[in-house]
Amino acid sequence: MGGSSFSSPLMQASSIATAVTVFFGFFLDGAESLTTHPSEARAINSVFKKWGISAKPNIWNISGEPCSGEAINNAASLLDRKYNPFIKCDCSNDETCHITGLMVNELVVGEIPEELWNLTYLSHLNLNYNHLTGSLSPAVGNLTRMKYLVLGFNALSGELPKELGNLTELLSLGLGKTNFSGSIPSELGNLVKLKKLHIDSSGLSGQIPPTFANLINLERVWASDVELTGKIPDFIGNWSKLTLLKLQGNSFEGKIPSSFSNLKSLTDLRISEISDGSSLLAFIRNMKFLIVLVLRNNNISDSIPSNIGEFQKLTRLDLSFNSITGQIPESLFNLSSLSSLFLGNNKLSRPIPTQISQSLLNIDLSYNNLSGRLPSWPN
Ligand SMILES: *[C@@H]1O[C@H](CO)[C@@H](O)[C@H](O)[C@H]1NC(C)=O
Ligand SMILES: *[C@@H]1O[C@H](CO)[C@@H](O)[C@H](O)[C@H]1NC(C)=O
Ligand SMILES: *[C@@H]1O[C@H](CO)[C@@H](O)[C@H](O)[C@H]1NC(C)=O
Ligand SMILES: *[C@@H]1O[C@H](CO)[C@@H](O)[C@H](O)[C@H]1NC(C)=O
Ligand SMILES: *[C@@H]1O[C@H](CO)[C@@H](O)[C@H](O)[C@H]1NC(C)=O
Ligand SMILES: *[C@@H]1O[C@H](CO)[C@@H](O)[C@H](O)[C@H]1NC(C)=O
């Protein structure tokens, strides 16, 4: 097969498109006559060739005009798996079409070709669930229009390039379930628009950089099963838009900062395995939107807030393996949302309540100072 199959079909495509527009221009949307920017067409072509994949027939083209068919149909979503692999183009602002989105899922084994970083108009890049290997090039920092960069569930390795911090338009960064190493570059603290951050099981380690104090727009953070060390920073209490925070299975020490009491929008909070410290529980008092609260094995020595019965959305509460004292508030057992209650291995005392919500299907209160038996479920 000729390696240079690219340029002549494109020229043919563009001259055919031009001719069609000349004769039938009054039928056609103006966008139909635009062609993909040549360097971007060359780059996408080269990337797909190295990966040994091609566009699905009649959906869009690699050998012809990449920005065609569904790639320029606003109604076709980049994330729709039926188009995978897929690109999206923007033909609205310029003489040419630019490739703004690329999605390739579950198709590729190998490295990320360097030409991919020539697609400088990309704002969405989703390469989740491939078997990508090798490191992430510092050239990723060229793609300064990027908003959604999702590279999770791959075997990418090496250190994260500090140039990621140049992507200041980023709203979402997905690096979970990868094989990176080294610490989190402090430059990521420049990503002040970031709302979503996945670094769970990414191989990263070390402290959360102090520059992360800037990331006050974060809404959802998955950072479990990474070797994060040091103290959980107080400034996380300033990430007041957080609805989800997962920090399980790290190597943190110290305590859960009391500044966390500001995080009133949380619906899902999971922190576990903090060593060498002692935490309180009062900081959860105002988190009344919590659906899941898991604070296992943090050496918490406090009592359960008396207002826990006001947490009307709570479905799962796991405070096991701490040193929690005092009585279990009876109202907890009456929460109609609650289905799992794990309070085992604490220093909790009686009473065991007289009534238990019908929703409560999983209870573990073992290894406490309780006595008596749980009442039977209402019929
Ligand atoms: C990518 O860009 C570099 C430098 O800007 C250029 O040398 C190279 O030819 C480009 N590659 C493709 C496939 O367009
Ligand atoms: C693919 O490219 C050809 C020209 O090479 C063009 O005629 C066609 O419309 C393109 N789009 C699709 C969806 O096939
Ligand atoms: C992860 O990366 C290391 C090198 O940093 C390599 O030795 C190891 O085989 C990789 N593991 C997987 C599962 O890819
Ligand atoms: C990109 O990031 C690097 C490393 O953080 C920095 O030295 C460089 O100046 C940045 N480039 C631009 C254009 O901002
Ligand atoms: C939280 O934000 C306030 C207001 O911006 C600031 O004064 C304070 O220093 C921040 N706290 C931390 C721990 O960064
Ligand atoms: C657990 O907390 C208590 C104080 O409540 C403290 O005395 C003890 O040293 C802590 N244990 C560990 C392992 O940090």
Q: Please check whether residue 141 lies inside any domain of the structure.
A: no
CB neighbour class for 183 (10 Å; exposed up to 12, middle 13-18, buried from 19)? middle
Residue 106 forms part of a structural domain = no
pTM over 0.85: yes
| Ligand 2 centroid to residue 54 C-alpha, Å | 13
Residue 375 is predicted with a pLDDT of 62
pLDDT at position 24: 35
DSSP H helical segments within the chain, as ranges?
7-24, 38-51
258, 283 Cβ separation under 8 angstroms: yes
User: Per residue in 106-150, pLDDT tens?
Assistant: 999 999 999 999 999 999 999 999 999 999 999 999 999 999 999
Length of the chain in residues, anyone?
379
Q: List the CATH number of the domain containing 279.
A: 3.80.10.10
Residue 231 in 3-state DSSP?
strand
Q: What's the mean pLDDT when you consider all of the chain? A: 89
Residue 33 has pLDDT above 60, yes or no: no
Helices of type H across 199-319: none
Nearest to 289 by CA among 312, 315, 255, 316: 312
Residue 49 lies in a domain: no
Ligand number, closest to the Cα atom of 55: 2
pLDDT in tens, 185-237: 999 999 999 999 999 999 999 999 999 999 999 999 999 999 999 999 999 99
Residue range of the domain that includes 245: 228-379
CA distances from residue 210 to 134, 185, 190, 193, 205 in whole angstroms, order as listed: 28, 10, 11, 17, 15
Residue 215 lies in a domain: no
* Residue 371: inside a domain: yes
> Do the domain assignments include residue 167?
no
Q: What is the pLDDT of residue 373?
A: 64
pLDDT band at residue 17 using 50, 70 and 90 as cut-offs: very low
For the Cβ of 325 lying below 6 angstroms from any atom of ligand 6, the answer is: no
Tokens standing for 146? 């990027």
Q: How far apart are CA 338 and CA 343, in angstroms?
A: 13
Rounded to the nearest angstrom, the distance between the alpha carbon of 41 and the centre of ligand 1 is: 11
What is the structure's pLDDT at 63? Answer: 76
Q: Looking at the domain assignment, is residue 174 inside a domain?
A: no
Chain centre distance of CA 226: 14
pLDDT, tens digit, for every residue of 228-262? 999 999 999 999 999 999 999 999 999 999 999 99
pLDDT given for residue 161 in this prediction = 98
Could you tell me the distance, in angstroms and rounded to a whole number, from the CA of residue 204 to the centre of ligand 3?
Answer: 13
Q: What total of structural domains would you count in the chain?
A: 1
Residue 247 forms part of a structural domain: yes
